[in-house]
Structure 1
Amino acid sequence: MTLTQLEVFARVAELRGFTLAATRLHISQSAVSHAIKALEQEMGVELIHRHQAAIELTDIGAQLLLRAREILGLAETMRQEAADARGMKRGTLRIGSFGPSSSMRLLPRILERYRQRYPNIEIRIDEGTDQEVVSWLQERRVDVGFVVLPEDKLDTFTLCEDQMVAILPANHALATAPSVSLEALCREPFIMTEAGSGPLLERLFSSQKRVPNVLHRSAQLISTLAMVEMGYGVSILAEQALPERPLRQAGSYVTKPLDPPVKRSVGLAVLNEGHASPATKAFIEIATGLQQG
């Protein structure tokens, strides 16, 4: 077994295809097929079911994928520790990011400073929901990720705190109120976000023994705001996730603090701080330094 074979296996599993993996790795498709076949022969098990349109991991393939990513992560850490002794001139950093809160508000400033200090580190960014980022960290698909805190299964570093706010159509009866209670929102048609703040909202309503009148569910922030603007209902979102100005489609929306206030903390997480690579530790140091400065 070689690191190259494990890298090919991990890429095929991640991209769900031999052709995409070959393109990403800059090798031929036949080389990808050969690497997978050789790895399966050495392991004595089938790792991948091959279909015409796509591939699917076998049960043992999914299990060994976690081990492969662990080995590849340790190998990359070794390379970076050696590079660190030379001034960290090379390496790879894989970042998991979710929504506007991290991808638009936090990540750009951090990357700007990081690029200035470490211009030759290759950066890969995967975007999904905060729960997907947690899964990617546990699967070792990313080295560091933005998450909603607390997150007990990971080593975390707080970056910022913002508040959850009610989102109302501009002409709504509550639009002139100084703040809005959950009780009042539960009397209105509610648009439940299934993006980053979804689990937080479910816990919030449950803790206060409230049941929202959910008529719409949306996995996308823009769709949620558009439905509020068109008067389909009200919602609750994180303030930092909102665009700097309303979408102004059918009308507009207003934001109101919740009563009582509800805070949300966002931070960075790694699977194990002690095993983090130098590139990962440098990213965390820069990110936390910017927030403290």
Structure 2
Amino acid sequence: MTLTQLEIFSQVAALRGFTLAAARLGISQSAVSHAIKSLEQELGVELVQRHQARVELTDIGQRLLLRARSLLGLAETMRQEAADAKGMKQGTLRIGSFGPTASMRLLPALLADYRQRYPGIEIHVEEGPDQQVVQWLRERRIDIGFVVLPDESFDSWPLLEDRMVAVVPRRHPLAARDALSLRELCDDPFILTGAGSAELVMRLFTAAGLTPQIRYRCSQLLSTLDTVARGDGVTLLAELALPAHDQTAYVSRPLAPQVARRIGLAVLDQRQSSPATLAFVRQALMLRDAGRLLKP
């Protein structure tokens, strides 16, 4: 068993295909097939089931994938600790990000500062809904991710706090109010967006004993806001996720009582995090404390 085999296995699992994994790794498809077959023969189990268009992991393949990614993460940590002794001139950092708040308001300043200090670190950014980032952390697909806090399953560092706001069509009767309650948002068709804190939104309604009339589920923030602007429903979003311009067709109002949302960075286990990962945390906290974290 080699680290190369484990890396190929991890890529096949992530991309659900031999061809895509080969393209990502820059090797031939036959080399990918050979590596998987050799690994299966050595372990004595079938790791993947091959279908026409894609592959699926077997049950044991799913379990061993976590072990493989753990080993790959430890190997990368060893490489980076060695590189750190020489000035951290090389390495890889995989970041998970969700929604406009993390991807557009936080990441630009963080990446600019980090790349200037560590130009040799190769950075990969994966974007998905908030719960997808959490899953990626648990599966070790990323080294560090932006998450909604608190989350006791990770080692985390708070970065900022904003508030949840109701977003309604500008000509809606609720637009004349200074603040809105969760109950008032249950009287209209509700638009649930997967672009940000959908999990937090549903927890708020559940905790209040309310059930919104979910008529739309939008994967993108812009489509969510466009649906509101057309007058087709109302929604609940984090204030920092809203664009600073083009709010002519909808308005945002704070909740009463106000609900805060805390965003932070999280890792699965700080003790096993690579030097590149911990350096990213340090840079983020320095920018936070200096008031330079948010992009206007």
- Structure 1 residue aligned with 2:196: 196
Which residue, 258, 262, 283 being the options, matches 2:255? 258
The CA distance in 1 between the partners of 2:59 and 2:183, in whole Å, is 47
- CA-CA distance at 1:96 after TM superposition: 0.6
- SS of corresponding position for 2:175: coil
The CA distance in 1 between the partners of 2:107 and 2:255, in whole Å, is 27
Contact preservation (8 Å) 2:130, 2:198: no
What are the ranges of 5 or more consecutive residues in structure 1 without an aligned counterpart? Answer: none
> What one-letter code is carried by the residue in structure 2 that aligns with 1:200?
L
Two-structure CA RMSD over aligned residues (Å): 1.3
- SS of corresponding position for 1:175: helix
Q: Which runs of 4 or more aligned residues in structure 1 lie more than 6 Å from their structure 2 counterparts after TM superposition?
A: none
- Structure 2 residue aligned with 1:215: 215
Give the 3 Å change call, closer, same or farther, for CA 26–194 of structure 1 in structure 2.
closer
The C-alpha deviation readout for 1:110-167, integer Å capped at 9, x for no partner, is 0000000000101111111111111111111000000011111111110100000010
> What one-letter code is carried by the residue in structure 1 that aligns with 2:250?
Y
Contact preservation (8 Å) 1:131, 1:196: no
The CA distance in 2 between the partners of 1:84 and 1:115, in whole Å, is 15
- CA-CA distance at 1:196 after TM superposition: 2.6
> What one-letter code is carried by the residue in structure 2 that aligns with 1:198?
A
The CA distance in 1 between the partners of 2:61 and 2:13, in whole Å, is 9
Give the 3 Å change call, closer, same or farther, for CA 51–215 of structure 1 in structure 2.
closer
The CA distance in 2 between the partners of 1:153 and 1:227, in whole Å, is 35
Residue 47 (structure 1) aligned with residue 44 (structure 2): no
* 1:87-236 map, 5 Å: 87-236=87-236
The CA distance in 2 between the partners of 1:141 and 1:180, in whole Å, is 39
Contact preservation (8 Å) 2:100, 2:196: no
- Structure 2 residue aligned with 1:278: 275
- CA-CA distance at 1:247 after TM superposition: 6.3
> What one-letter code is carried by the residue in structure 2 that aligns with 1:183?
R
The C-alpha deviation readout for 1:43-90, integer Å capped at 9, x for no partner, is 111111111211111111111111100000000000000000000000
Contact preservation (8 Å) 2:99, 2:128: yes
The CA distance in 1 between the partners of 2:224 and 2:149, in whole Å, is 23
- CA-CA distance at 1:172 after TM superposition: 1.4
Contact preservation (8 Å) 1:93, 1:124: yes
The number of aligned residues is 290
- TM-score of the superposed pair, with normalisation by structure 1: 0.96
> What one-letter code is carried by the residue in structure 2 that aligns with 1:278?
P
The CA distance in 2 between the partners of 1:49 and 1:73, in whole Å, is 25
Q: Percent identity?
A: 62
What are the ranges of 5 or more consecutive residues in structure 2 without an aligned counterpart? Answer: 291-296
